[in-house]
Amino acid sequence: MEINIKHDLIVTIIKKGFCENIITASREAGAEGATIIPARGTGIHETKKLLGIPIEPEKEIIFTIVQEAKSEKVLDAIIKAGKLEKPATGIAFVIELKKVAGVVHLVKALEEAKHKE
């Protein structure tokens, strides 16, 4: 069964160790979960050295799929929790998704809601 609910993907790239705060805030704002991927940054703020040796800046990428209707609220929570309004803290952006599979729990919830009507 295909569902007609639009979804967005919120991609957040932050310094390693800050993902738990962001995931907690996004869940409180309505997200149901996230996927975390370790990464390495190469931006202008990641060119630091220690004793002349370049430091590999460790990052985490968080993928959060949310219903389009919840996207703005979740993004605002991510910005606040990650302090993304400050320089060199990270970045978050939203990508509109054309189709999503694997959200069986949403299909069941919609079917149950229709039967109750």
Is 18 part of any domain?
Answer: yes
In a domain, 2, yes or no: no
Q: What is the pLDDT of residue 50?
A: 60
* CATH code (residue 37): 3.30.70.120
Task: Identify the pLDDT of residue 1.
Answer: 47
pLDDT value of position 100? 81
CA distance 69 to 30: 10
Residue 59 domain flag: yes
Is position 1 within any domain? no
pLDDT of 106 reads 61
Task: Please report how many Cα atoms fall inside a 13 Å half-sphere around the Cα of residue 98, on the Cβ side.
Answer: 0
Structure tokens at 54: 């370049």
Residue 27 domain boundaries: 7-116
pLDDT, residue 19, reads: 92
Say what the pLDDT of residue 103 is: 65
Q: What pLDDT, on the 0 to 100 scale, is given for residue 79?
A: 97
Query: What are the average pLDDT values for consecutive 10-residue runs of the chain, which has 117 residues?
Result: 77 92 96 90 61 71 94 97 91 92 64 64
Using left for φ > 0, alpha for ψ between -120 and 50, and beta otherwise, residue 115 falls in alpha
Is residue 21 assigned to a domain?
A: yes
Domains identified in the chain, total number: 1
Burial (CB count within 10 angstroms: exposed 0-12, middle 13-18, buried 19+), residue 101: exposed
pTM of the model: 0.78
